[in-house]
Chain A
Amino acid sequence: MTLLQVAGLTAGYGRVEVLHGVDLTVAAGEIIALVGANGAGKTTLLRSISGQVAATAGRICFAGADITGHPVESVVRRGVAHVPEGRRLFAGLTVRDNLRLGGWATRGTDIDRVLGLFPPLAARLTQVAGTLSGGEQQMCAIARGLMNRPKLIMIDELSLGLAPVVVDDIVRTLPDIAATGTAVLLVEQDVDIALSVSTRGYVLETGTIAFTGPSAQLRTDSRIQRAYLARPGDGR
């Protein structure tokens, strides 16, 4: 069943068009990877879906309703969670208060459920979020997004600034999240990780979808290997 359908989406900032007719679908419970070079428009696409950037053409449908042009709050209430680039935790508040705020839209208070997905947070509930380690901050940001029991969680740059082992830990929880019925749309610089955890993938190049298909297939595609999959020694 299609949960999210983006069709012919055009969007940008002021007169600068960033997305030029993007098509993308996410089915319920799926994990989808969205990859592409810096500045391709990945963040802009997520921001359009969550209602922070206005579409100038095209449609966004979610759970059977047309949500194009809806304000952020109402998109969130319909079941979209957006974990923004840079996490954007409420740095001066405790982890518990951050999680409580995460449940704002649905009056969700089941903190234990999200702690089950991220056990390290359980010991940090009374700690001020700004003092968490990078990995803990990302866990807290994802946990906060899950408090509303969303149908879809969009995670922007999961691995940003994190050590590889920490990234592995967090990525390993994505299938668990999907298993609870929450689809995941993952934006990731680390194309290898993104394609290994997802079922399907999209490659965004300067505002248009250049490739899409099953992740296993994309990983072996020579064009994608050449452009995005770093060989040893390349760094990132």
Chain B
Amino acid sequence: MTSFLQATSYGLLQGGLLAMIAIGFSLVWGVMNVINLSHGAYVLLGAYIAWELHAAWGLDPLLGAVAAGLVMFGAGYAVQRSLINQVVNAPIFLTLLLTFGLQLVLVQGMAVVFSADYRSIATWYASESLPIGDVRVPSGRLLAFGVAILATVVLVTFMRRTRTGLAILATGMDRNAARLMGINARHAYALTAGIAAALAGAAGALVGLVGTFSPPDAARFTLLSFVISVLGGLGNMYGALLGGLVLGVVQAWAGQYLPGTWVNAVAFAVLVAVLIVRPSGLAGRAFYEARVEAT
């Protein structure tokens, strides 16, 4: 029983972090209809930024997450503005190809610059374990979970309540109508990409805080983001949070009770099962149902 609770709590904490990674992927998909295959590489870029800041100045990875978020916001904005905006109305095949290429370049680049060795950002507190009832949780994971949930809630509030957030949602729903309000769609798209990259980058710093990372992990983060986004319902931000938690827990259970190689297969089994029962995802409200494709 304790091992079950232990696995479940571990899964929830990991799931929060996965949700923070996936939410930006889901946002970009929902608003721009772009499946950004380089999203996972953004996570690792954030991890390396935090690692370097920690190595150079001993900057705590929680502050490193803020720095990584800011840098990656700029990077995400610039990539969208200069590259992806050019093909955003093209067939989805083209954006897939472009972002897949970008992912390859980034992963190769990171392997060259940082080597393919596993790294982690060591802190005095990350592996201190806190007893909660019968289970013990590492404080680093608990902190990362707290930050991830906070970031998600802040994002949703920002999107729903602020002028800029509404403008992004509106552009996602009907790009031409948004432009008729005077909204600059290219800027709105770039902001969306920047926000997604910022969350991915900040989450990367947290990945480094709670475990190890190396460049090839990028593909896994992209894949998990994809699964979580579909689980949660396309573009649905709270759905992505829920999807992340579910996936984290299921993977933890699989890790506990099944041979190691089954973990990814189980993730996809869950995806297929959910889609059969609820085709529009766990949260079940297709926010972009009424989206009008740009003409």
Q: List 17 A-B contacts (CB under 8 A).
A: A73-B179, A73-B182, A73-B183, A76-B180, A76-B181, A82-B180, A88-B177, A91-B290, A93-B170, A100-B163, A101-B167, A101-B181, A102-B181, A104-B167, A104-B183, A105-B182, A148-B182
Contact code string B154-190 (vs A, CB < 8 Å = 1, else 0): 0000000001001101100110111111111000000
**Inter-subunit contact A92/B163 (CB<8 Å):** no
Contact code string B2-23 (vs A, CB < 8 Å = 1, else 0): 0000000000000000000000
**Inter-subunit contact B289/A92 (CB<8 Å):** yes
**Inter-subunit contact B173/A90 (CB<8 Å):** yes
**Inter-subunit contact A104/B289 (CB<8 Å):** no
Chain B residue contacts of A104, Cβ below 8 A? 163, 167, 181-183
How many chain B residues have a CB neighbour from A under 8 Å?
21
Instruction: Give Cα A92–Cα B286 distance, bound, in whole angstroms.
Output: 10
**A101 touching B183 in the complex, CB below 8 Å, given contacts A88-B177, A88-B292:** yes
Chain B residue contacts of A73, Cβ below 8 A? 179, 182-184
**Inter-subunit contact A93/B183 (CB<8 Å):** no
**A101 touching B166 in the complex, CB below 8 Å, given contacts A72-B179, A90-B177:** yes
Chain A residue contacts of B238, Cβ below 8 A? none
**A50 touching B180 in the complex, CB below 8 Å, given contacts A92-B289, A104-B163:** yes
Q: Closest residue to A102 on the B side, CB-wise?
A: B181
Least CB distance, B184 to chain A, in whole angstroms: 5
Q: Closest residue to A141 on the B side, CB-wise?
A: B177
Chain B residue contacts of A91, Cβ below 8 A? 173, 289-290
A-B pairs, 4 with minimum CB distance:
A105-B182, A91-B290, A76-B182, A88-B177
Instruction: Give Cα A95–Cα B52 distance, bound, in whole angstroms.
Output: 48
Q: Which of B163, B169, B176, B287 contacts A88 (CB 8 A)?
A: B176
Q: Closest residue to A104 on the B side, CB-wise?
A: B181
- Tell yes or no: B288 within 8 A of A by CB: yes
